[in-house]
Chain A
C-alpha cells in the first residue's frame, strides 16, 4: 500500500467472471428509443430531469435496434404494430431484454378488443412486467431495477 499504488503496480484483483460481466451488462444498458402510446410519455418523464434514468446508465436511447439491448414496450400493441415489434426485437443483438411497460403491453389492459394484442408476450419474450396505466416513472425504474437484479443472478451457462 502507499506509493506502489500510485506507480501503477496494483497487483491482481480476483473476481468471478459471471459477476463482472453481469455488472457490466446492468450498468450501461441502452434502451431502444421506441414508444407506442401513453406509457411512452411516462417513459420520457422517467428519462427527463426529475427521475433521471441516467443514474442507471440508461440516458442514451438508441433509435437503432442494432445498438440497443433493452426494449421497453411502452404502450398498447395493435395488430398492425405487432410484426414491426417482432422485427425490431429480432434486429437487436444478444444479449437483449424486454420490459412490458404498462397494462396494455402486459395483458391488453382496458382494451380487450379486436385491435389490441392481449399482451406483448404473445410476440416477444418478456422479462419484466410493469403494472400501471400508465405506470409512474418510479414504477418503471423499479421494473428496471428488478431486471438488473435478475441479470446479476444470471449464470454462465444461461448467457446468450
Chain B
C-alpha cells in the first residue's frame, strides 16, 4: 500500500478537559459548572476495561452527569476491509471484539454466505456452534474475572483465567492460534477439527460445572460483592429496549429475547436451551444472567457433540472453497481453482445483506454490500458494546463513582468493538 508514513509526533495533540467539554458538549450539558467538579476518567484507568474515557460531572461523590468519550482505539477496521478481498478481510473481524473472535467471524462469514447464497454442511454447522458457545464461555470468563477484580475480588480473576487457558488451548488445537483464530471460512471451516478435539471438549464439559459453582460460592453470598451490585445501575425493561440494549445486559432487565432462539441462525433451532432472564435490571441481575448462560452454553455444546457426525466440513464448490491439498497434484482443475482463489479470491454478487447473530455481549450484526467484485464495497458492524455503552449515563446517574465502576463492568464492553 502506498500510504505516506507521517511521523506521529508531528500531528499529535492532546485535548484539555475544557476542549473535551466543548467537543463532547453536544451530548452532555454541564448542570452546574460553579459547584460541581469535572473529572476525566480514563483513558488509562484500571476499571474502564480498555481505553474508554468518561467525562464525569461530580457533586461531591455523586455522579450527576456523564458522557463517554470513545475513539481511543479507532482502528479503521471497516474502511480497511473495503480494500481487502472477502477472505482477507476476515482477519480484521478477529481483532474487533477480541474476547470472542469466533462470534465476529461467524457474523461476517454468515453475511458472506448469505450474499453468495450458499449453505454449509451439517458437520461444519455443528462445529461452528460448539466453538461459538465455547467462545461465549471464554468471553464471559474474562468478563467475570475483570468485573470481580474491579469489585475487589482478585481470586476470581485468577480462577477465571485458569479455565480460560483451557479454552484457548482448544482454539489453538483447531485453528493454530490462541486468540485470532479466523477459523470460520466462507463455505465451511479452515479445516476439520483434529481427533483430540472431541475428548478435549468433553473433558471441559466434565470439569467446568464445578468451576462455575466455585465462582458462585466466591461471589453469590459475598457481602462486599452484593453491596456493590444489588440495586446498582438499575435499568427497566422498557428503557433497555428503548436504548437498544441487547444480550445479557438486556435480559437482566426482564426482556426475554435471544437471537439464537428468536431469530435462529446457523442451526440453533435444533437445540434445546433456555434463555436466562432476570427481572431486577441491576448489576447483580446481569451478573446472574451471565452465570446462568455458562450452564446453557455447556448444554448446547453437549448436545452439539452428540450430533457431531463424520463428514465433509467444506462445501464442494471450489469457486469458493480451495480444493484439498492432495487434489493439487492430480487435477489441473484444482490447480486453477487454487491459483484463482489465492490470487484473486472469489467474487460475490452485487447487493447487500445484513446478518445478525447473538454474541456474548448481545446482538452483533454485519451489513455487507457487494458490487460484483472480489472485495466488499462496504462493511459495517452493529456492535453490541457500542450500543450498550450508550445507556451507561442512564444507569450510573445519581450514583457514587464507585458504582460507576461496577456498572461499567456489568455491561461488559469491549473497546475494540466500540471504536472499531
B266 in contact (CB, < 8 A): no
CB <8 Å contact, B95 and A79: no
The distance in angstroms between the C-alpha atoms of A84 and B91, with both chains bound, is: 28
Contact with B along A74-85 (1 / 0, CB 8 A): 011011111110
CB <8 Å contact, B98 and A41: yes
The distance in angstroms between the C-alpha atoms of A88 and B14, with both chains bound, is: 12
User: In whole Å, how far is A124's beta carbon from the nearest beta carbon of chain B?
Assistant: 10
A34 in contact (CB, < 8 A): yes
User: In whole Å, how far is B83's beta carbon from the nearest beta carbon of chain A?
Assistant: 9
CB <8 Å contact, A35 and B50: yes
CB within 8 Å of B: which A121-159 residues: 122-123, 133-134, 136
Residues of chain A contacted by B77 (CB below 8 angstroms): 111
The distance in angstroms between the C-alpha atoms of A79 and B76, with both chains bound, is: 11
CB <8 Å contact, B72 and A110: no
CB <8 Å contact, B51 and A81: yes
CB <8 Å contact, B165 and A50: yes
CB <8 Å contact, B73 and A41: no
Residues of chain A contacted by B50 (CB below 8 angstroms): 35-37, 40
CB <8 Å contact, A113 and B44: no
User: In whole Å, how far is A40's beta carbon from the nearest beta carbon of chain B?
Assistant: 7
Residues of chain B contacted by A33 (CB below 8 angstroms): 46
B71 in contact (CB, < 8 A): yes
The distance in angstroms between the C-alpha atoms of A112 and B87, with both chains bound, is: 18
The distance in angstroms between the C-alpha atoms of A133 and B416, with both chains bound, is: 15
Residues of chain A contacted by B74 (CB below 8 angstroms): 78, 80, 115
User: In whole Å, how far is A45's beta carbon from the nearest beta carbon of chain B?
Assistant: 6
The distance in angstroms between the C-alpha atoms of A86 and B9, with both chains bound, is: 9
A1 in contact (CB, < 8 A): no
Residues of chain A contacted by B157 (CB below 8 angstroms): 48
User: How many A residues touch the partner, as a band?
Assistant: 35 or more
CB <8 Å contact, B92 and A123: no
User: In whole Å, how far is A8's beta carbon from the nearest beta carbon of chain B?
Assistant: 38
Q: How many A-B residue pairs have CB under 8 A?
A: 120
B1 in contact (CB, < 8 A): yes
Nearest A-chain residue to B2, judged by Cβ? A112
CB within 8 Å of A: which B287-346 residues: none
CB <8 Å contact, B416 and A38: yes
Known: A49-B159, A78-B73. A110 touches B95 (CB 8 A): yes
Cβ-defined partner of A79 (8 Å) among B11, B44, B180: B11
Residues of chain B contacted by A80 (CB below 8 angstroms): 71-72, 74
Known: A41-B142, A82-B8, A110-B91. A134 touches B76 (CB 8 A): no
The distance in angstroms between the C-alpha atoms of A80 and B9, with both chains bound, is: 12
CB <8 Å contact, A76 and B73: yes
CB <8 Å contact, A34 and B44: yes
The distance in angstroms between the C-alpha atoms of A114 and B80, with both chains bound, is: 9
Cβ-defined partner of B161 (8 Å) among A35, A45, A111: A45
B43 in contact (CB, < 8 A): yes
CB <8 Å contact, B72 and A123: no
The distance in angstroms between the C-alpha atoms of A83 and B8, with both chains bound, is: 9
A44 in contact (CB, < 8 A): yes
User: In whole Å, how far is A61's beta carbon from the nearest beta carbon of chain B?
Assistant: 8
The distance in angstroms between the C-alpha atoms of A33 and B51, with both chains bound, is: 12
The distance in angstroms between the C-alpha atoms of A37 and B142, with both chains bound, is: 14
The distance in angstroms between the C-alpha atoms of A86 and B80, with both chains bound, is: 26
CB <8 Å contact, A81 and B179: no
Cβ-defined partner of B3 (8 Å) among A41, A83, A112: A112
Nearest B-chain residue to A78, judged by Cβ? B74
Contact with A along B32-64 (1 / 0, CB 8 A): 000000000001111000110000000000000
CB <8 Å contact, B73 and A81: yes
CB <8 Å contact, B73 and A84: no
B274 in contact (CB, < 8 A): no
Nearest B-chain residue to A116, judged by Cβ? B75
A87 in contact (CB, < 8 A): yes
Contact surface of B with A, Cβ cutoff 8 Å: 1, 3, 5, 7-9, 11-14, 43-46, 50-51, 71-77, 79-80, 91-92, 95, 98-99, 142, 145-146, 157-159, 161-162, 164-165, 168, 178-180, 415-416, 419
